[in-house]
Chains A and B, each alone.
Chain A
Amino acid sequence: MTNKIVVDCSTGEVQEIALTAEEITEREAMAAEYAVQKAAEEAEAAAKAAAKESANAKLAALGLTAEEIAALTK
């Protein structure tokens, strides 16, 4: 069981309390939402890297040297 630590600043009392069902539901939703967001970010990054690699390959096929490609892309 997951607990939270609650400090009552008016009394100094520190308690470990089990999360409510509502809090557990929220935590699960947040974790799921972030997993989706993270997957989207990783997919976007992968697509960007693939596009860059493809562009560099096409430039090389046109006869540009690696130094010339680097000069164009920096």
Chain B
Amino acid sequence: MATTYTLISSVTVGSGGAANIEFTSIPATYTDLSVVFSIRCVRSSVVEPGMLRFNSSTSNYSLRRLNADGSTVASSAVSGETGMIFGDINGDTATSNTFGNGSIYIPNYTGSNFKSISTDVVVENNATESSQYLLAGLWSDTSAITTIRLYSRNSHNFKQYSTAYLYGISSS
């Protein structure tokens, strides 16, 4: 059971926005990793799929998601993407000054097995349309994770005040 969280690094997007956020040279000294984020992008919609990529790898991602959008609930599998969808983030027509919030848990990120993740993500919007995700993903690669990139599925920039925090979790 993980007992300690250590903040490794954090980012706040500045006034110019950002195409993506990358944590590089992640130390291999922890048991698990957790990314906690609050992101809004410039897309003219309420939601936008958020994605991550490990070690610049563009293959071997698959996932199963349980999601709701304010009117329907669905479960589906996704594979073949060049990164891992981790949930929806806010687009720019969601309620002003709100963000898509969530966390991504990555256990055993330095191990030699395939890497699994779990996420819990919500879009904040003061209207019927919204988004909630519970997701389990797999990166079928045995490499240790040293880099994590967060980006928008459809190449929309992250807006100012979007944040991401990378934590290392030690098992003792």
Binding site for B on A (CB under 8 A): 2-12, 14, 16, 19, 23, 26-28, 30-31, 34-35
The distance in angstroms between the C-alpha atoms of A35 and B13, with both chains bound, is: 26
Could you tell me the dominant secondary structure of chain B's interface residues?
loop
Task: Quote the shortest CB–CB distance from A69 to chain B (angstroms).
Answer: 22
B18 contacts the other chain (CB 8 A): yes
Contact of B22 among A7, A10, A27, A34 (CB under 8 A): A7
**Known contacts A10-B25, A10-B27; is-contact A5 B154 (Cβ 8 Å):** no
Find out whether the CB atom of A5 lies under 8 angstroms from the CB atom of B9.
no
The distance in angstroms between the C-alpha atoms of A3 and B22, with both chains bound, is: 11
Find out whether the CB atom of B19 lies under 8 angstroms from the CB atom of A27.
yes
**Known contacts A12-B9, A14-B11, A16-B14; is-contact A7 B155 (Cβ 8 Å):** no
Find out whether the CB atom of B19 lies under 8 angstroms from the CB atom of A2.
yes
Q: Which B1-33 residues sit within 8 Å CB-CB of chain A?
A: 8-9, 11, 13-14, 16-27
The distance in angstroms between the C-alpha atoms of A3 and B15, with both chains bound, is: 11
